[in-house]
Structure 1
Amino acid sequence: MQSTAINMKQLLPNFTDESVIDDSVLLSPQGFREYDTRWWYGFSGSDRVPEINLAGIKAVGAGLAHLLRQRGNDQAIIVGHDLRSYSFEVKTALVKGLVSGGAHVCDIGLALSPMAYYAQFALNIQSVAMVTASHNENGWTGVKMGCERPYTFGPEDMAELKAIVLEQQAVPATGGQYNFVNNIEKLYASALTKGRFFKRRLKIVVVCGNGTAGLFAPQILRRIGCEVVEVDCAPNWSFPKYNPDPEAAPMQKAMTEAVQLFRADMAFGFDGDGDRCGVADHEGNIIYADRIGLLLAQAFSTQHRDAHFIVDVKSSGLFRTDPVLQANNATVDYWKTGHSYIKRRMGETHALAGFEKSGHVFLNQPLGLGYDDGLATAIAVCEMLAAHPDQTLASLNRQLPQSFATPTLNIFCCDQEKYRIISRIQDYFADLVSSGEMFAGQCVSELLTINGVRVTVDDGTWGLIRASSNKPDLVVVAESPVSLERRNAMLHAINHVLARFEAGQLSDFEGTV
């Protein structure tokens, strides 16, 4: 690995400081989310009003450097960016702010988020700032940050950073440095694939939605012996067909059509920054990520008895009742949705792995380094399937109990209102349970309020209402182990609650499967 010092004037040779950084700072406070930042930055031809400009990005960088210094952290920080047309200029402004605050920037260039997390370990650096808006539409930008590997910022960290930036507390410091680091992608690929070459040759469709993962995923999966068919892997920042979001219908459609067309064993869909992975079986069925997580947990618990797992509140109730996990003495905790929350909870409880319904999978030692990585997830699924030479992914999935679950359903709710509404809904359910009232036609057996409200009734049917962490939305999920009718009864009951608090309505969910 090589590290090359670069003068800051070389970083953007075609621009002066004055033309890159505006004197007027534009920075919407709403961009500071629960565990990262997301702003509408815009692009040429867009008529939507930007929420941040390059001067605002520089202020974020200066604020982050100030925060690191204030906490007594080492000043070294990994920085990378995704392939959006404006991500390089956003990263450059962030770097200038970091350097102005005395930070020692190690720039890994165009990268996936898990590649930046890996670089923290490879270079023995605690802090990271990855410029990406993940699966958000073209025009969004943001930064995923952390100062204690493998964790990323949570609400307290984000509140502290927000105060520093908005109150202009950041103080310039001397000693800032910039270095460009070569070959991290090669080290990352080697670390993922070392010792993994499967005798069962799997034919895999890789769907990337023209996002950053297309530059890395096909080659890495070929290194473990897969025959790879590339679909929408050519990088194109405009996302001409669909957003690279494996939870969204357009990308899922591309996966299901391609896996059947090419007669592949399965299809993987990666999000915009490569930290999530969606899966379709050879029959063209999307297997929700929580069911993939359950299959992986079964495999991991067989290899590592007494394992502990973390799953998010959107995930299947089957984790609680799975006979394989029980036979292997595995334990499962439901926790807050969000990569930062899951990573930290895994560290606190020494969990072997963590799973989110959105497709984030977290592998702790000895399986991984504790962060979410879509490519590591895909390799783990390949390894699981290769260990069952007479099975398909579809047959493994059918061995799990049937359940009737919705995808993640979203209802628009402005950022200024969504948490207040959720708080009122939590109070409503607390009163409902204390008074012994039924919900969705049955008695409530469990009320979980660590992240919104997850209400479970006697037959195991459950529903969730929570605030999205990175979009102006409320999120609803429901599942029944009994029937589609019971699941829909839960959704009807949730709709009544949403109407009660004027929080919008779900529509057309009756046919959702």
Structure 2
Amino acid sequence: MLPAPRADLVSNTLEYETTPLVKATGFREYDARWVFEKEINLLGIQALGLGLGTLIREMGKDPRIVVGHDFRGYSASIKQALTVGLMSAGIEVNDIGLALSPIAYFAQFDLDIPCVAMVTASHNENGWTGVKMGVEKPLTFGPDEMGRLKEIVLNGEGKSHDGGAYKYVEGMRERYIDDIASGVSIKRKLKVIAACGNGTAGAFAPEALSRLGVEVIPMDANLDHTFPRYNPNPEDMEMLHAMQAAVKEHGADVSLGFDGDGDRCGVVDDEGEEIFADKIGVLIARDLSALHKNAQFVVDVKSTGLFMTDPVLVENSARTEYWKTGHSYIKRKSHEMNALAGFEKSGHFFFNNPVGRGYDDGLVAAIALLQMLDRNPDKKLSDLRKSLPKTWQSPTMSPHCADETKYGVVEKVVATLSERKEIIGQKVRDVVTVNGIRITAEDGTWGLIRASSNKPELVVVIESPTSEENMKAMFTELDAVLKTQPEVGEYNQKI
């Protein structure tokens, strides 16, 4: 049995090599993420596997699991340590090797295995690692499951059990690509940039898109876990700017950008304009709601207000519910409501039948976008963008705030802003506190402050349907509130 984990170990010591290091803050709302070697060591990962296996048995689930890993210099060793822990808990491990997160989710269906553990730091910078977990396809863990897992691991409650086994599953890459490309044929002549940021998607996205019949220009598709150009995150302006340059250089119809584990998709149109994922969601919702009347959608609180007011969605009798930000939350809510699709501003897209299986998949989202263009042969993507009512949006901005303090800071901010009767010189129209606070002025200008679910940061997003000046004014007012909190640090990017 492993010793109980500790959070205060120093590397290059005897204790570090004989005791699990697990920092408590790595257990987040719906997945687990740590800075490898500083916040968790390999024995800590092994303890996590033992704890996850214990939880699987505690929940009465079939003790079989799919495991995969993303392309980072240390991810294979992380997966191996996790596998040892899972096997010691009596779990049959089915290893699909190098994979995207959606391939791990696909494998649950393809292999008829209930549980999944995908080793990935997603879009986090190098040095981070983590695990996305679930025991009921297509869902992943939420706060309840993560809270219980945290208790089991940190309290040393992991239990050894007979029956552990290991199987390496061959051919999952080909089966996945065949699955998403099957029955999809794009008739329209399209030139598509596949931007991969040297992350895992480079091994999958160019080939998958090519099978649809479009011309694909791979961009940073060679795997390189040092991420030499930029971090593979299609929400970061650095990656979006590179995608813009590629569109203009090649005269492409669209650039599709994928994050480090391929469950998100970012978009730049034929004119080199980035279209934030929530606006892409509105366009796809328009397209799908024309095919499926009275369609239900779920979007996160970071997303544009157009889901409620867009005239095409209104005409198509589409209904939209705003919910908590986070892939696990939107996925679960979409599943519970049997929504046709769920959208997150970060670029997670969730499609239920008949489009998808309910989990987030950047390539399935890309295919839905290309099919939309195929159904509109006389319109460029820029034409579709321009058909949307004009709004002024900020990028997602993230000031640093330690994991230990960020939720307390948000509570104070919510208390302060909830008392406001006016903002940007207007009456406050409504306040939503389902996830941080989203405060809306009379003209529809809104601002959001929430705690990041996966990094030591806050999240700030602004949108105005009336003017850039009001968008900036809202940011100025929210930023002034944040400046009263000494725990809040520098932004990663600002308007």
Q: TM-score range by the shorter chain?
A: over 0.9
Structure 2 residue aligned with 1:442: 426
Provide the residue aligned with 2:33 in structure 1. Answer: 38
Cα distance change, pair 34–292 in 1 and its aligned pair in 2 (3 A): same
Q: SS at 1:311's partner residue? A: strand
2:316 equivalent in structure 1: 328
Q: Structure 1 residue 249: deviation in Å? A: 1.7
- Structure 2 unaligned segments of length 5 or more: list them: 1-13
Cα offset for 1:240? 1.1
1:318 is matched with which residue: 284, 306, 315?
306
Task: Determine the structure 1 residue equivalent to 2:436.
Answer: 452
Cα distance, 1:507 vs structure 2? 7.3
Give the Cα separation in 2 of the matches to 1:507 and 1:406.
13
Offset at residue 509 of structure 1 (A): 8.2
1:38 partner letter: R
Q: Does 2:236 match 1:284?
A: no
SS at match of 1:412: coil
- Give the aligned length: 481
Structure 2 equivalent of residue 478 of structure 1: 462
In the alignment, is the contact (CA less than 8 A) between 2:399 and 2:492 conserved in 1?
A: no
Structure 2 matches for 1:83-482, cutoff 5 A?
A: 83-432=71-420, 437-482=421-466
Structure 1 residues 58-94: Cα deviation after superposition (integer angstroms, max 9, x where no partner): 0000000000001111101110001111111110000
Further displaced range: 57-66 or 378-387: 378-387
1:499 offset after TM fit, Å? 2.4
Give distance in 1, aligned partners of 2:229 and 2:364: 26
How far apart in 1 are the matches of 2:288 and 2:75? 37
What is the CA–CA distance in structure 1 between the aligned matches of 2:27 and 2:121, rounded to whole Å? 13
Amino acid at match of 1:290: D
Distance 1:408 1:122 in 2: 35
Say if 2:197 and 2:231, in contact at 8 Å, map to a contact too: yes
- Alpha carbons 1:112, 1:273 under 8 Å: kept: yes
Runs of 4 or more consecutive aligned structure 1 residues displaced over 6 Å after TM superposition = 505-510
Task: Provide the residue aligned with 2:54 in structure 1.
Answer: 66
Q: Tell me, what secondary structure is at the counterpart of 2:169?
A: strand
Alignment CA distance shift 1:290-1:442 (3 Å): same
> Which residue of 29, 35, 40 maps to 1:52?
40
CA contact (8 A) 2:400 2:491 kept: no
Q: CA deviation at 1:428?
A: 2.0
Paired with 1:196 and 1:367, the residues of 2 have a C-alpha distance of: 11
In the alignment, the residues of structure 1 paired with residue 237 and residue 427 of structure 2 have an alpha-carbon distance, to the nearest angstrom, of: 34
Alpha-carbon deviation of 1:22?
Answer: 3.6
Could you list the runs of 5+ residues in structure 1 that have no partner in the other structure?
1-18, 43-49
Q: Aligned partners of 2:450, 2:155: CA distance in 1, in Å?
A: 30
**Are the equivalent residues in 2 in contact too, given 1:495–1:506 (CA < 8 A)?**
no
Residues 461 and 482, structure 1, Cα contact 8 Å, conserved in 2? yes
Amino acid at match of 2:119: V
| Rounded Cα–Cα distance in structure 1 between residues aligned with 2:422 and 2:395 | 25
Correspondent of 1:25 among 20, 24, 30: 20
Residue in structure 1 matched with residue 11 of structure 2 by the alignment: none
Shift of 1:276: 0.4
Q: Pick one of 455, 463, 477 that aligns with 1:493.
A: 477
SS at match of 1:500: coil
Q: Kindly indicate whether the alpha-carbon contact (under 8 Å) linking 1:498 and 1:505 is maintained by their aligned counterparts in 2.
A: no
User: SS in structure 1 opposite 2:475?
Assistant: helix
Distance change in 2, residues 1:509/1:82 (3 Å): closer
Q: Report deviation, 1:289.
A: 0.6
Q: Which residue of 1 aligns with 2:9?
A: none
Deviation track 1:157-216 (CA, whole Å, cap 9, x = no partner) reads 111101100000011000011111111111111111111111112100111110000000
Q: Which is worse superposed, 96-105 or 195-204?
A: 195-204
Distance apart, 1:508 and its partner CA: 11
Contact 2:301 2:324 in 1 (8 A): yes
Distance in 1 (CA, whole Å) between partners of 2:400 and 2:474 is: 20
Residue 496 of structure 1 and its aligned partner are, at CA, apart by 2.2
Letter in 2 for 1:109: G
CA distance in structure 2 between the partners assigned to 1:350 and 1:156 by the alignment: 22
For 1:334, what is the secondary structure of its paired residue? strand
Deviation per residue, 1:135-174 (Å, 9 max, x gap) = 1111111000011111111111111101100000011000
In 1: Cα distance, 2:224 partner to 2:460 partner = 32
Identity of aligned residues (%): 52
Distance in 1 (alpha carbons) for counterparts of 2:317 and 2:245:
39
Residues 10-29 of structure 1 deviation map (CA, whole Å, 9 limit, x = unaligned): xxxxxxxxx9x942211111
Change in CA separation of 1:228 and 1:508 when aligned onto 2, cut-off 3 Å: closer
- Cα distance change on mapping 1:94 and 1:259 into 2, 3 Å: same
SS where residue 310 of structure 1 aligns? strand
Q: Distance in 1 between matches of 2:100 and 2:430?
A: 38
Aligned-partner SS, 1:424: helix
Aligned partner letter, 2:23: S
Secondary structure of 2:325's counterpart equals coil
C-alpha separation in 1, matches of 2:413 and 2:178: 48
The CA distance in 1 between the partners of 2:383 and 2:250, in whole Å, is 19
Q: For 1:29 and 1:41, locate their aligned partners in 2 and report how far apart those are by CA, in whole Å.
A: 13
Q: Provide the C-alpha distance between the structure 1 equivalents of 2:195 and 2:89, rounded to a whole number of angstroms.
A: 40
Q: Give the alignment's TM-score, normalised by structure 1.
A: 0.92
Distance 2:228 2:348 in 1: 24
Determine if contact 2:400/2:490 at 8 Å carries over to the other structure.
Answer: no
1:78 aligns with 2:62: no
